[in-house]
């Protein structure tokens, strides 16, 4: 029997299989609102058999967007469109999840197909970026504003309010984005955090923001619903955040009510040398799972059914999160099931195409 197609129950939520769609920015929103693109994009992956679908990095504040085209959840008016998406996911057997994010110093950029450059504050659609310290992401970008303690508390409040909206919008899994060089990751890494107050310096101080965000969200996120955190398990750079740090943090997060660590890497140092190859991040998921005793998700160039099956069957992770492969093939789970001789439920409208 296929390990990939075994259900996974976390708290009171059961995923029908171990295949999740990883959150991927679509850069297709106006003022943070959902539109037809999002509905079709996420809906097709639900029809395609994903056990869990995580909606893209959704900004908890306007200044937390990577681009002006990012999806948002910073005001109540965003709820209705998101509820339509989560409802369709449930209708077709996928558990609806959403990733809450703040881009920090990597905010205020053009969308990739518009060039991807930083948008100056003086330009229309540009704004001042924020970070733990006034250290720019690269030499080509302006220094961000170093957050005051009062402003840090406002960030925590924004995450908490966004979690409440996500619940009202019908989501059952929440993921906190603490990876890829965005705000929470910036606080974790000594390369981007040189503060000397309670939010910088020691390991305990650098993890303070993400732990406070987690605790604040758990106050409003129901006990029966899972809470994930995406981490960059390493900065891939000397003097940066390490795999050992990630194991230590994972233990703390689990104590704070986090159920799964979504294990990615990098994103905080432009010049980092990352050994990209199929499944290159899986060892971090395996290590954190074994050493911290917490569920993990594996992500990064997982592109075929047998590869995904081995990750789960060998106990390297509890979940595989596919990104680009889901862009190439919205029906990956249905095709993988046929290859692995599992028997998923095909949509009635598509049964005539089911392999015999």
How high is the pLDDT of residue 1? 85
129, 145 in Cβ contact below 8 A? Answer: yes
pLDDT tens, position by position, 207-218: 999 999 999 999
How high is the pLDDT of residue 345? 84
How high is the pLDDT of residue 34? 98
Q: Is 99 exposed, middle or buried (0-12, 13-18, 19+ CB in 10 A)?
A: buried
pTM over 0.85: yes
How high is the pLDDT of residue 356? 79
How high is the pLDDT of residue 84? 98
How high is the pLDDT of residue 343? 83
Helices (H), the chain: 36-47, 79-91, 149-168, 183-188, 203-206, 208-218, 243-255, 282-292, 305-313, 324-328, 332-339
| Residue 27 annotated in active site | no
144, 159 in Cβ contact below 8 A? Answer: no
How high is the pLDDT of residue 167? 99
How high is the pLDDT of residue 278? 93
Residues of the chain with pLDDT under 70: none
Among candidate residues 95, 49, 93, the one with its CA nearest the CA of residue 340 = 49
Can you name the residues that pair with 101 across neighbouring β-strands?
Answer: 59
Q: Pick the catalytic residue from 27, 182, 199, 331.
A: 182
Each domain of the chain, given as residue ranges in start order, spans 8-353
How high is the pLDDT of residue 122? 86
Class for the domain spanning 8-353 = alpha beta
Q: Which H or E run includes 95?
A: strand 95-101
How high is the pLDDT of residue 355? 85
């Amino acid at each position: 029997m296929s390990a990939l197609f075994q259900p996974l129950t976390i708290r009171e939520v059961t995923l029908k299989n171990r295949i999740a769609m990883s959150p991927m920015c679509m850069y297709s929103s106006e003022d943070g609102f959902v539109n037809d693109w999002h509905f079709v994009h996420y809906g097709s992956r639900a029809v395609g058999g994903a056990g869990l679908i995580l909606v893209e990095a959704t900004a908890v504040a306007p200044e937390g967007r990577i681009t002006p085209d990012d999806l948002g959840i910073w005001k109540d008016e965003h709820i209705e469109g998101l509820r339509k998406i989560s409802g369709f996911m449930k209708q077709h057997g996928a558990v609806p999840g959403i990733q809450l994010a703040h881009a920090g110093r990597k905010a205020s950029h053009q969308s990739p197909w518009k060039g991807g450059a930083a948008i100056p504050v003086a330009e229309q659609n540009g704004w001042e970026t924020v970070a733990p310290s006034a250290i720019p992401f690269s030499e080509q970008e302006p220094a961000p504003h170093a957050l005051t303690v009062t402003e840090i508390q406002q960030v925590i409040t924004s995450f908490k309010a966004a979690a409440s909206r996500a619940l009202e919008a019908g989501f059952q899994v929440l993921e906190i984005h603490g990876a890829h060089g965005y705000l929470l990751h910036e606080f974790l890494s000594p390369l981007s955090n040189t503060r000397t107050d309670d939010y910088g310096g020691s390991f305990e101080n650098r993890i303070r923001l993400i732990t406070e965000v987690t605790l604040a969200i758990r106050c409003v996120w129901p006990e029966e619903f899972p809470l994930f955190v995406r981490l960059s398990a390493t900065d891939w750079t000397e003097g940066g955040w390490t795999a050992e740090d990630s194991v230590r943090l994972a233990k703390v997060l689990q104590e704070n009510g986090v159920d799964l660590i979504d294990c990615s890497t990098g994103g905080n140092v432009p010049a980092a040398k990352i050994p990209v190859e199929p499944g290159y991040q899986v060892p971090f998921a395996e290590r954190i799972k074994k050493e911290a005793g917490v569920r993990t998700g594996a992500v990064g160039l997982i592109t075929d059914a047998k590869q995904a099956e081995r990750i789960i069957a060998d106990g390297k992770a509890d979940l595989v999160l596919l990104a680009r492969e889901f862009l190439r093939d919205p029906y990956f789970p249905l095709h993988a099931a046929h290859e692995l001789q599992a028997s998923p439920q095909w949509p009635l409208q598509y049964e005539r195409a089911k392999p015999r």
